[in-house]
Amino acid sequence: MERVICGIDRIEKYSYLFSKKRIGLVTSPAGYDVHMRSSVDIFMEKYDLRAVFSPEFGLYGDRKAGENVSTFVDDRIGICVYGIYGGTDRPVPGMLNDIDVLVFDVQNTGVRYSSFPWTLLACMQSCAKEGKAFVVLDRPNPLGGIQVEGCRPEILDDEKYLSYGIPQRYALTIGELAFFLNNEKKVGCDVHVVPMEHYRREMLFEDTGLVYLPATPNLPTPEAALLYAGTGMLEKTALSVGLGTSAPYQQVGAPWLDGYELARRLNEKGMEGILFRPVRFFPSQGRYRERRCYGVQLHLSDKRKARPTQAALHLLGEAFSMAPESVNFFSPENEQSARIKFDYTVGTSRVRTSVGDIDYLVRMFALDTEQFEKEKQKYHIYE
């Protein structure tokens, strides 16, 4: 099997998109080529790089999840790095004045409730408004390009994270997603994609032959990235998802849970590709920081058969049934906003209101999955 060649490694073949153009570059800590040269350094050397734009977690991955990313002049490269997450969530007109082409080289998570799909959409909207070309340097979807999971958003009043019309696990590369959003959202952006070579839809990340560079600091392994498609939606409940441990998004628990009983119930369901082991852990971030949590660790026995979103629904249902009455499960901060955050993460209020009937939710998700699998095919770049 030949190693996948990413868009950043093929830019010379597409030099007509960059030569004699003033370049702006959106990139992240995973923006490296096969020789571990950063896309910033490559564009500095080969083309006229005028500005860098940094999404969530910052250019160097030194910002926490949800933390504003500030603008600064980078002493190493001597140009401005614009923060486009938080207070300013997109390139505004003044940032684009000195560029002709905005290049997007960000390793995506493959999951809707990551902030990167929004950053992609916001950048395209800004380019369309300012008449700038937009070029995506394609990279693999770490979760593969076939299996779709989750529901499509029913809550459409949150433009930032729910307007994409995609399920949690959407099985498109970042380049394919750009084509999807540009057409479905009627953005009207002049979008180009530098495609990968040797990439096939059935590939999970470990099939690509590439070194895994985390899309975010909290997804340190391909296993965490795959499970995030499910356990990520539990983050706004009264459960810890293991942030600040050695296995973020791979273990879920709470001080009041019985991990052995939870593991027994979940393993009895016989879900393909995923097994559950009772664990105890001390999260140093997020919910229950520095408190002992009891729960389960999710282990992938077969990544192709595993359905992390379905597994997370069953975990949610069992944990909810085990929660004491004193636990405000879907509004753990005792604020109305926390309950809304859960609904917005999942994209529907029906998970919260039907948590006692997980089989119904699995069927509901399956209907959305089937519909999206058909719709997305016209945006496929790869077979």
pLDDT at 132 over 70: yes
Listed by start position, the domains of the chain span 7-215, 222-348
Q: Determine contact, residues 69/83, Cβ cutoff 8 Å.
A: yes
Residue showing tokens 């003044």: 94
Torsion of CA 224, 230, 235, 237, to 10 degrees: -150
Dig out the tokens for 327 from the structure: 């636990």
Question: What local confidence, expressed as pLDDT, does residue 87 receive?
Answer: 85
In the beta sheet, which residues pair with residue 136?
104, 193
Residue 49: phi, psi to the nearest 5? -80, 120
Domains 7-215 and 222-348 share a fold: no
Distance (Å, whole) CA 208 – CA 193: 19
How large is the average pLDDT for residues 233-253? Answer: 96
Average pLDDT over residues 136-151: 97
**Contact status, residue 350 vs residue 330, Cβ threshold 8 Å:** no
The DSSP 8-state label assigned to residue 68 in this structure reads P
Q: Which of 261, 258, 267, 278 is nearest to 301 (CA)?
A: 267
The dihedral built from the CA positions of residue 172, 176, 179 and 182, taken in this order, carries a sign that is positive
pLDDT digits 0-9 by tens, 260-313: 999 999 999 999 999 999 999 999 999 999 999 999 999 999 999 999 999 999
Let me know if domain 7-215 sits in CATH 3.40.50.300. no
Encoded tokens for 333: 């901060």
* Protein fold of 222-348: Aspartate Aminotransferase, domain 1 (3.90.1150)
* pLDDT tens, residue by residue, 155-203: 665 555 555 789 999 999 999 999 999 999 999 999 999 999 999 999 9
Query: Is residue 333's pLDDT more than 70?
Result: no
pTM: 0.94
- For every residue of 5-33, DSSP letters joined together read B-GGGGGGGGGGGTTTSEEEEEE-TT-B-
Helical ranges in 55-173 per DSSP H: 93-96, 116-130
Q: How far apart are CA 138 and CA 104, in angstroms?
A: 9
Query: How many Cβ atoms sit within 10 Å of the Cβ of residue 363?
Result: 10
